[in-house]
Structure 1
């Protein structure tokens, strides 16, 4: 979807202290061979900080940078990938109360690690509707330091990290102009992340941990029995959404200065993102990702903030924001830094 007059007016993050993977190996949390394969150097861990508070802290930074006041906002979209607090309670309204404190819509976007990009797409649609207020606040926060998750072994694709991010989307002005945004899904692959788990009762209600590796092993076992799992390479969806969104922006991959992607380990990052996009590590944000980990939906905006505030991108640079989620779905946005 080509976008006109939609901007990122401010971005903020909340990143607690980190634990090195060297320390994790020494303490027996992380396998030494896996550390070598992953290339990961450190992971952000949140201790006992509630995930919504990470979102609030990030949002306050983004709001201060945006130049907007609370009266400018018509909605707040909060995304998350892990449990936020009391069951049945509304994390989006907690974030709203502690940021804008306005009687506007506060919506939870359950789009997994694609949550912030999906929220940006929703915000773009809203802001192109005449008569709506000029800004939308996007927030996310996750803390995986819970008893039912082992961040170090839950998946070989990544190490789960804790953190928050926020962005102010505006129709007035901003440091980056959104040129195009879109998504593409392949629902035939949804079963890959379901594995052999029954859907009711939900696993978390009976004490089952979040473990993607167990579900992957289920399909390896099925394959050994002659049962073919859902087939497909997720990199194809990544390449498809990037090519389409770039074309809508009137650009090609050669016009992109940097790519902000999810915080995967090096092998999966290259296989699912970099090779399908036809780029090397030099245009990626690997040097950021390997010291942060996979924060869920925050990854892409953590990287964008680092690139912009450190001066690694400046006026005239085009940046590709791209992510993925279980389902399977890939999302992409093209932004141009304007100041």
Structure 2
């Protein structure tokens, strides 16, 4: 989708101060030493008991709002994305973030699309603003804290190490430091069983009192026949290439003509194959070296990466940024942005 007059006006991030390194996790018996080498994640941020995901989201949002120059009454929409537990059962974290930030009676909704939640929310927010002439701004927040005993950040999944944190982004029709040129999304629901597994249903979260076991679910699916793994990887690769090309075409640009690429803080082996080898991305154009000290923060990775690009002074006017997400389901979203001016922050 090609967008007209939709801008990124503000970005914000919140990362807990507490750090746990991969080396410490290996020494404590929490993390396999061989996996540590292959995954390449050096450290993660760990939220304390008071840093529930919506609390972190609100902190990131306040910074993004302040940087955007928008007033609370400008916001007609808030979308909050997450993967895991949000600090309480049977409640609506999006409304908590709304009450702690912009207030008002605008629409507040929760997005559940795994690690693609942040970028999926950005595309939905752009659609909302474009469809409603009276609306000026939309706020997107993403936050997660992968805490025991429900989730084991070092062992619940393979080729993923999960860190805690939150990102926020303000979309505006009034203007901003970056223009949203295009977005594209693609869903392939035939891959939905990869993370559901084949063992049946559970009656409630944490029903067996054991941490979430994503490894077994993926293994059961990918070993169902001898070609399943290769077929799944090929299917994902084709889908990723298709959605990337669609976004680039709608932005009237080529990948070689962009200056920055922001992807998730995934295992180094996956990043190398999926982005640097298959797509020909230059690692130096990414935020991955920084992300290796953050870990995979779910759907917040892309917003955190964009925030880091700007805060670290790596962007200049005229630069084009491609950011790509993929989430269980499976869903891919790509956004292409162009820097209009370098913000003071």
Listed one character per residue, the Cα deviations across residues 112-143 of structure 1 (whole Å, up to 9, x for unaligned) are 11111111111111111243320001111111
- Whether 1:102 and 2:104 are equivalent positions in the alignment is yes
Using structure 2 for the length normalisation, give the TM-score. Answer: 0.93
1:135 alignment counterpart? 137
Q: In 1, Cα distance between the equivalents of 2:88 and 2:16?
A: 22
Q: In 2, Cα distance between the equivalents of 1:169 and 1:83?
A: 26
Identify unmatched segments of 5+ residues in structure 2: none
1:87 alignment counterpart? 89
Q: In 2, Cα distance between the equivalents of 1:216 and 1:323?
A: 19
Contact 2:262 2:322 in 1 (8 A): yes
Q: In 2, Cα distance between the equivalents of 1:129 and 1:186?
A: 26
Contact 1:239 1:276 in 2 (8 A): no
SS in 2 for 1:128: helix
Contact 2:74 2:137 in 1 (8 A): yes
Where do 1:199-238 residues align within 5 Å?
Answer: 199-202=201-204, 204-219=206-221, 221-223=223-225, 228=228, 231-233=231-233, 234-238=236-240
Using a 3 Å threshold, how does the CA distance of structure 1 residues 129 and 217 change in structure 2: closer, same or farther?
closer
Which one is further off, 131-140 or 295-304? 131-140
Q: In 1, Cα distance between the equivalents of 2:240 and 2:134?
A: 32
Q: CA deviation at 1:222?
A: 3.1
Listed one character per residue, the Cα deviations across residues 6-46 of structure 1 (whole Å, up to 9, x for unaligned) are 01100000001221111111222111111111121111111
Where do 1:1-339 residues align within 5 Å?
Answer: 1-17=1-17, 18-48=19-49, 49-202=51-204, 204-219=206-221, 221-223=223-225, 228=228, 231-233=231-233, 234-339=236-341
Which one is further off, 130-139 or 323-332? 130-139
Q: CA deviation at 1:206?
A: 4.3
Listed one character per residue, the Cα deviations across residues 168-194 of structure 1 (whole Å, up to 9, x for unaligned) are 100011111000001012111111111
Contact 2:181 2:338 in 1 (8 A): yes
Using a 3 Å threshold, how does the CA distance of structure 1 residues 112 and 228 change in structure 2: closer, same or farther?
closer
Using structure 1 for the length normalisation, give the TM-score. Answer: 0.95
Contact 2:78 2:98 in 1 (8 A): yes
Which one is further off, 240-249 or 39-48? 39-48
Which one is further off, 1-10 or 36-45? 36-45
Q: In 1, Cα distance between the equivalents of 2:249 and 2:228?
A: 35
SS in 2 for 1:232: helix
Q: CA deviation at 1:103?
A: 1.0
Using a 3 Å threshold, how does the CA distance of structure 1 residues 140 and 220 change in structure 2: closer, same or farther?
closer
SS in 2 for 1:323: strand
Identify unmatched segments of 5+ residues in structure 1: none
Q: In 1, Cα distance between the equivalents of 2:283 and 2:197?
A: 32
SS in 2 for 1:204: coil
Listed one character per residue, the Cα deviations across residues 270-293 of structure 1 (whole Å, up to 9, x for unaligned) are 223333322131222211221110
